[in-house]
Protein backbone atom coordinates (compact mmCIF):
# COMPACT_ATOMS: atom_id res chain seq x y z
CA UNK A 1 0.00 0.00 0.00
CA UNK A 2 1.02 3.62 -0.40
CA UNK A 3 2.83 4.92 2.64
CA UNK A 4 3.86 8.35 3.90
CA UNK A 5 7.33 8.92 5.32
CA UNK A 6 7.05 11.19 8.35
CA UNK A 7 9.71 13.89 7.94
CA UNK A 8 11.12 14.50 11.41
CA UNK A 9 13.46 17.21 10.17
CA UNK A 10 10.62 19.25 8.69
CA UNK A 11 8.38 18.86 11.74
CA UNK A 12 11.28 19.71 14.08
CA UNK A 13 11.92 22.83 11.99
CA UNK A 14 8.30 23.90 12.40
CA UNK A 15 8.56 23.42 16.18
CA UNK A 16 11.81 25.34 16.51
CA UNK A 17 10.50 28.18 14.31
CA UNK A 18 7.73 28.79 16.85
CA UNK A 19 10.26 28.58 19.70
CA UNK A 20 12.55 31.12 18.00
CA UNK A 21 9.66 33.55 17.65
CA UNK A 22 8.73 33.19 21.33
CA UNK A 23 12.35 33.53 22.45
CA UNK A 24 12.72 36.72 20.40
CA UNK A 25 9.60 38.15 22.08
CA UNK A 26 10.96 37.30 25.52
CA UNK A 27 14.31 38.91 24.77
CA UNK A 28 12.51 42.16 24.00
CA UNK A 29 11.44 42.00 27.66
CA UNK A 30 15.07 41.34 28.72
CA UNK A 31 14.28 37.68 29.41
CA UNK A 32 16.38 34.96 27.80
CA UNK A 33 15.88 31.23 28.30
CA UNK A 34 19.08 29.46 29.33
CA UNK A 35 20.23 25.84 29.07
CA UNK A 36 23.27 24.26 30.72
CA UNK A 37 24.60 20.96 29.40
CA UNK A 38 26.99 18.85 31.47
CA UNK A 39 29.22 16.22 29.89
CA UNK A 40 31.42 13.99 32.02
CA UNK A 41 34.30 12.62 29.96
CA UNK A 42 35.20 12.96 26.31
CA UNK A 43 33.11 10.32 24.56
CA UNK A 44 33.06 11.40 20.89
CA UNK A 45 29.39 10.52 20.29
CA UNK A 46 28.31 12.38 23.43
CA UNK A 47 30.36 15.40 22.37
CA UNK A 48 28.52 15.46 19.04
CA UNK A 49 25.13 15.36 20.82
CA UNK A 50 26.16 18.12 23.23
CA UNK A 51 27.53 20.34 20.48
CA UNK A 52 24.34 19.90 18.47
CA UNK A 53 22.28 21.04 21.45
CA UNK A 54 24.51 24.07 22.02
CA UNK A 55 24.37 25.07 18.34
CA UNK A 56 20.58 24.72 18.32
CA UNK A 57 20.38 27.03 21.34
CA UNK A 58 22.50 29.61 19.55
CA UNK A 59 20.31 29.41 16.46
CA UNK A 60 17.12 29.94 18.46
CA UNK A 61 18.48 32.74 20.66
CA UNK A 62 18.64 30.60 23.81
CA UNK A 63 21.57 31.23 26.15
CA UNK A 64 23.66 28.08 26.60
CA UNK A 65 26.55 26.82 28.66
CA UNK A 66 28.59 23.68 28.03
CA UNK A 67 30.37 22.18 31.03
CA UNK A 68 32.83 19.37 30.29
CA UNK A 69 34.16 17.56 33.34
CA UNK A 70 37.06 15.12 33.44
CA UNK A 71 36.25 11.49 32.76
CA UNK A 72 37.64 10.79 36.25
CA UNK A 73 35.17 13.14 37.94
CA UNK A 74 33.34 11.81 40.98
CA UNK A 75 29.65 11.95 41.76
CA UNK A 76 30.42 14.77 44.22
CA UNK A 77 32.17 16.77 41.46
CA UNK A 78 29.04 16.58 39.32
CA UNK A 79 26.75 17.36 42.25
CA UNK A 80 28.72 20.51 43.09
CA UNK A 81 28.23 21.77 39.54
CA UNK A 82 24.54 20.84 39.47
CA UNK A 83 23.91 22.68 42.74
CA UNK A 84 25.70 25.74 41.36
CA UNK A 85 23.55 25.69 38.21
CA UNK A 86 20.38 25.21 40.30
CA UNK A 87 21.10 28.62 41.83
CA UNK A 88 22.14 30.37 38.61
CA UNK A 89 19.36 32.76 37.48
CA UNK A 90 20.60 32.66 33.86
CA UNK A 91 19.98 28.90 33.68
CA UNK A 92 16.41 27.59 33.32
CA UNK A 93 17.24 24.08 32.14
CA UNK A 94 19.93 21.60 33.19
CA UNK A 95 20.83 18.51 31.19
CA UNK A 96 23.42 15.91 32.16
CA UNK A 97 24.46 13.90 29.13
CA UNK A 98 23.66 10.22 29.68
CA UNK A 99 25.24 7.85 30.43
CA UNK A 100 28.03 9.26 32.63
CA UNK A 101 31.13 7.17 33.45
CA UNK A 102 30.43 4.22 35.79
CA UNK A 103 31.87 5.88 38.89
CA UNK A 104 29.23 8.63 38.70
CA UNK A 105 25.92 7.83 40.42
CA UNK A 106 23.48 8.95 37.73
CA UNK A 107 20.43 8.56 39.97
CA UNK A 108 21.97 10.84 42.61
CA UNK A 109 22.78 13.44 39.96
CA UNK A 110 19.25 13.38 38.55
CA UNK A 111 17.77 13.69 42.04
CA UNK A 112 19.94 16.75 42.70
CA UNK A 113 18.60 18.72 39.72
CA UNK A 114 15.96 21.29 40.63
CA UNK A 115 12.72 19.80 39.22
CA UNK A 116 11.90 23.25 37.80
CA UNK A 117 15.08 22.97 35.69
CA UNK A 118 14.78 19.25 34.83
CA UNK A 119 14.15 19.75 31.10
CA UNK A 120 14.99 16.10 30.34
CA UNK A 121 12.16 14.98 32.66
CA UNK A 122 14.22 12.40 34.52
CA UNK A 123 13.52 13.69 38.03
CA UNK A 124 10.96 11.68 40.01
CA UNK A 125 8.82 14.80 40.54
CA UNK A 126 8.38 15.39 36.81
CA UNK A 127 8.00 11.70 36.00
CA UNK A 128 5.25 11.49 38.61
CA UNK A 129 3.49 14.57 37.27
CA UNK A 130 3.57 13.14 33.76
CA UNK A 131 2.17 9.82 34.93
CA UNK A 132 -0.85 11.36 36.66
CA UNK A 133 -1.54 13.73 33.78
CA UNK A 134 -0.22 17.01 35.19
CA UNK A 135 1.12 19.50 32.65
CA UNK A 136 2.99 21.87 34.97
CA UNK A 137 6.18 19.80 34.70
CA UNK A 138 8.03 18.52 31.65
CA UNK A 139 7.71 15.56 29.28
CA UNK A 140 10.74 13.42 28.30
CA UNK A 141 12.11 14.79 25.05
CA UNK A 142 12.06 11.68 22.83
CA UNK A 143 8.54 10.43 23.73
CA UNK A 144 7.33 14.05 23.62
CA UNK A 145 8.81 14.29 20.13
CA UNK A 146 7.00 11.13 19.04
CA UNK A 147 3.69 12.59 20.26
CA UNK A 148 4.39 15.74 18.25
CA UNK A 149 5.18 13.68 15.12
CA UNK A 150 1.83 11.92 15.46
CA UNK A 151 -0.01 15.19 16.05
CA UNK A 152 1.51 17.06 13.12
CA UNK A 153 1.00 14.05 10.83
CA UNK A 154 -2.72 14.00 11.63
CA UNK A 155 -2.52 10.65 13.42
CA UNK A 156 -4.91 10.48 16.37
CA UNK A 157 -4.05 7.67 18.83
CA UNK A 158 -7.54 7.75 20.40
CA UNK A 159 -9.08 4.28 20.36
CA UNK A 160 -6.03 2.82 18.60
CA UNK A 161 -3.96 -0.08 19.87
CA UNK A 162 -0.43 1.25 20.38
CA UNK A 163 2.36 -1.24 20.98
CA UNK A 164 5.60 0.06 22.49
CA UNK A 165 8.73 -2.07 22.18
CA UNK A 166 11.05 -1.40 25.09
CA UNK A 167 10.57 -0.43 28.73
CA UNK A 168 13.42 1.98 29.42
CA UNK A 169 12.92 4.97 31.69
CA UNK A 170 14.05 7.22 28.85
CA UNK A 171 11.66 6.06 26.11
CA UNK A 172 9.51 2.98 26.67
CA UNK A 173 7.82 3.72 30.00
CA UNK A 174 7.13 7.43 29.40
CA UNK A 175 6.02 6.68 25.84
CA UNK A 176 3.35 4.34 27.14
CA UNK A 177 2.32 6.87 29.78
CA UNK A 178 1.88 9.70 27.27
CA UNK A 179 -0.09 7.56 24.83
CA UNK A 180 -2.58 6.41 27.45
CA UNK A 181 -3.32 9.83 28.97
CA UNK A 182 -6.95 10.94 29.07
CA UNK A 183 -6.32 13.98 26.91
CA UNK A 184 -6.65 15.04 23.25
CA UNK A 185 -3.89 13.53 21.13
CA UNK A 186 -3.63 10.44 23.33
CA UNK A 187 -6.32 8.01 24.65
CA UNK A 188 -4.66 4.95 23.10
CA UNK A 189 -4.88 1.41 24.41
CA UNK A 190 -1.25 0.58 25.11
CA UNK A 191 0.70 -2.68 25.24
CA UNK A 192 4.36 -2.68 26.26
CA UNK A 193 6.58 -5.55 25.13
CA UNK A 194 10.20 -6.13 26.08
CA UNK A 195 13.04 -8.64 26.21
CA UNK A 196 11.12 -11.02 28.48
CA UNK A 197 7.95 -10.99 26.36
CA UNK A 198 7.38 -14.34 24.64
CA UNK A 199 6.42 -14.12 20.96
CA UNK A 200 6.87 -10.38 20.46
CA UNK A 201 5.53 -10.62 16.90
CA UNK A 202 2.16 -11.77 18.27
CA UNK A 203 1.75 -8.30 19.78
CA UNK A 204 3.39 -6.19 17.07
CA UNK A 205 1.02 -7.65 14.47
CA UNK A 206 -1.90 -6.25 16.49
CA UNK A 207 -0.53 -2.71 16.58
CA UNK A 208 -2.31 0.17 14.86
CA UNK A 209 0.63 2.28 16.06
CA UNK A 210 3.96 0.52 16.56
CA UNK A 211 6.74 2.39 18.38
CA UNK A 212 10.11 0.66 18.57
CA UNK A 213 12.80 1.55 21.09
CA UNK A 214 14.76 -1.67 21.41
CA UNK A 215 18.19 -0.76 20.09
CA UNK A 216 18.30 -3.88 17.91
CA UNK A 217 19.20 -3.18 14.26
CA UNK A 218 16.40 -4.05 11.81
CA UNK A 219 14.67 -6.27 14.36
CA UNK A 220 11.19 -5.52 13.02
CA UNK A 221 10.47 -7.25 9.71
CA UNK A 222 7.46 -7.09 7.41
CA UNK A 223 5.84 -10.23 8.84
CA UNK A 224 5.73 -8.54 12.27
CA UNK A 225 3.68 -5.56 11.13
CA UNK A 226 -0.04 -5.18 10.49
CA UNK A 227 -1.16 -3.88 7.08
CA UNK A 228 -1.72 -0.12 7.32
CA UNK A 229 0.04 0.34 10.66
CA UNK A 230 1.81 3.52 11.73
CA UNK A 231 5.44 2.69 12.55
CA UNK A 232 7.64 5.05 14.56
CA UNK A 233 11.26 3.91 14.77
CA UNK A 234 13.04 5.37 17.81
CA UNK A 235 16.03 3.03 17.53
CA UNK A 236 19.36 4.31 16.28
CA UNK A 237 22.08 1.73 15.73
CA UNK A 238 25.52 1.71 14.14
CA UNK A 239 25.93 -1.16 11.72
CA UNK A 240 29.29 -2.02 10.16
CA UNK A 241 29.32 -1.12 6.47
CA UNK A 242 32.66 -1.15 4.62
CA UNK A 243 31.09 0.70 1.68
CA UNK A 244 30.19 3.69 3.86
CA UNK A 245 32.70 6.57 4.20
CA UNK A 246 32.90 6.12 7.99
CA UNK A 247 32.84 2.33 7.87
CA UNK A 248 29.35 2.15 9.32
CA UNK A 249 25.79 3.23 8.63
CA UNK A 250 22.96 4.22 10.92
CA UNK A 251 19.84 2.11 11.00
CA UNK A 252 16.78 1.85 13.19
CA UNK A 253 15.03 -1.09 14.83
CA UNK A 254 12.90 -1.50 11.70
CA UNK A 255 13.94 -3.11 8.42
CA UNK A 256 12.70 -0.05 6.58
CA UNK A 257 12.68 -1.11 2.91
CA UNK A 258 10.81 -4.29 3.75
CA UNK A 259 8.36 -2.84 6.28
CA UNK A 260 7.51 0.52 4.70
CA UNK A 261 5.22 -0.85 1.91
CA UNK A 262 2.91 -2.37 4.55
CA UNK A 263 2.52 0.86 6.54
CA UNK A 264 0.35 3.95 6.26
CA UNK A 265 2.98 6.15 7.96
CA UNK A 266 6.58 5.40 8.90
CA UNK A 267 9.69 7.24 10.09
CA UNK A 268 13.21 6.73 8.76
CA UNK A 269 16.51 6.56 10.62
CA UNK A 270 18.15 9.01 10.54
CA UNK A 271 15.80 11.95 10.00
CA UNK A 272 12.74 10.76 11.90
CA UNK A 273 12.56 10.89 15.69
CA UNK A 274 16.12 12.17 16.24
CA UNK A 275 15.57 15.81 15.23
CA UNK A 276 12.43 15.91 17.36
CA UNK A 277 14.30 15.05 20.55
CA UNK A 278 16.38 18.23 20.37
CA UNK A 279 13.38 20.32 19.29
CA UNK A 280 11.41 19.22 22.35
CA UNK A 281 14.40 19.89 24.61
CA UNK A 282 14.31 23.47 23.35
CA UNK A 283 10.55 23.61 23.95
CA UNK A 284 11.04 22.37 27.51
CA UNK A 285 13.76 24.97 28.11
CA UNK A 286 11.47 27.73 26.89
CA UNK A 287 8.69 26.39 29.12
CA UNK A 288 11.01 26.33 32.15
CA UNK A 289 11.87 29.98 31.56
CA UNK A 290 8.22 30.99 31.16
CA UNK A 291 7.25 29.10 34.32
CA UNK A 292 9.93 30.92 36.30
CA UNK A 293 8.51 34.28 35.25
CA UNK A 294 4.91 33.00 35.40
CA UNK A 295 4.34 33.84 31.74
Strand, helix or coil for residue 87: coil
What pLDDT tens digit does each residue of the chain (295 aa) get? 689 999 999 999 999 999 999 999 999 999 999 999 999 988 777 888 889 999 999 999 999 999 999 999 999 999 999 999 999 999 999 999 988 999 999 999 999 999 999 999 999 999 999 999 999 999 999 999 999 999 999 999 999 999 999 999 999 999 999 999 999 999 999 999 999 999 999 999 999 999 999 999 999 999 999 999 999 999 988 888 878 888 888 899 999 999 999 999 999 999 999 999 999 999 999 999 999 999 9
CATH ID of 30-114, from 3.40.50.10860, 3.40.50.2300, 3.30.200.20, 3.40.1050.10: 3.40.50.10860
Strand order in the sheet with 189-193: 4-6, 263-267, 229-233, 209-212, 161-165, 189-193
List 53, 117, 268, 287, catalytic entry: 53
Architecture of domain 141-275: 3-Layer(aba) Sandwich (3.40)
Active site (annotated) includes residue 181: no
Active site (annotated) includes residue 7: no
**Of 216, 234, 243, which Cα lies nearest the Cα of 270?**
234
- The answer to whether 33 and 20 have CB atoms below 8 angstroms apart is no
Active site (annotated) includes residue 262: no
User: How far is the C-alpha of 210 from the C-alpha of 146, rounded, in Å?
Assistant: 11
Give the chain's largest Cα–Cα span: 57
List 114, 117, 118, 120, catalytic entry: 120
What's the pLDDT score for residue 191? Answer: 98
Residues of the chain with CATH 3.40.50.720: 141-275
User: How far is the C-alpha of 271 from the C-alpha of 129, rounded, in Å?
Assistant: 30
- The answer to whether 26 and 291 have CB atoms below 8 angstroms apart is no
Q: Tell me: the pLDDT tens digits for 245-293? A: 888 888 999 999 999 999 999 999 999 999 999 999 999 999 999 999 9
What are the helix and strand counts (H, E) for the chain?
10, 11
According to DSSP, the residues that pair with 265 across neighbouring strands are 4, 230
Name the region of 191 (left: φ>0; alpha: ψ -120 to 50; beta: rest): beta
Count CA atoms within 13 Å of residue 2 on its CB side: 0
| Phi/psi at 128 (5° precision) | -65, -45
Distances (CA, A) of 151 to 27, 185, 213: 29, 7, 19
Residues of the chain with CATH 3.40.50.10860: 30-114
Q: Count CB-CB contacts under 10 A for residue 169.
A: 11
- Whether the upstream peptide bond of residue 99 has omega within 30° of 0, thus cis, is yes
Q: Tell me: the pLDDT tens digits for 177-194? A: 999 999 999 999 999 999
Give 113's contacts (C-beta < 8 A, 6+ positions apart).
82, 86, 94, 96, 122, 123
Amino acid sequence: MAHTIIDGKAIAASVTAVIATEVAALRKQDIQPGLAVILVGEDPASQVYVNTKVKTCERLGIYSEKHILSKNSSTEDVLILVKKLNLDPKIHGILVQSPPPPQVDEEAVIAAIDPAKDVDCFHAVNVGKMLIGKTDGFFPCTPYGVMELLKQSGIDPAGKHAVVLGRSNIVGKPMAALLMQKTPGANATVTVVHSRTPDIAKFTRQADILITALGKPEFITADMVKEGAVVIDVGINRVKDVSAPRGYRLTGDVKFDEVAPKTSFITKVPGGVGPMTIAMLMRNTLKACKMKYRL
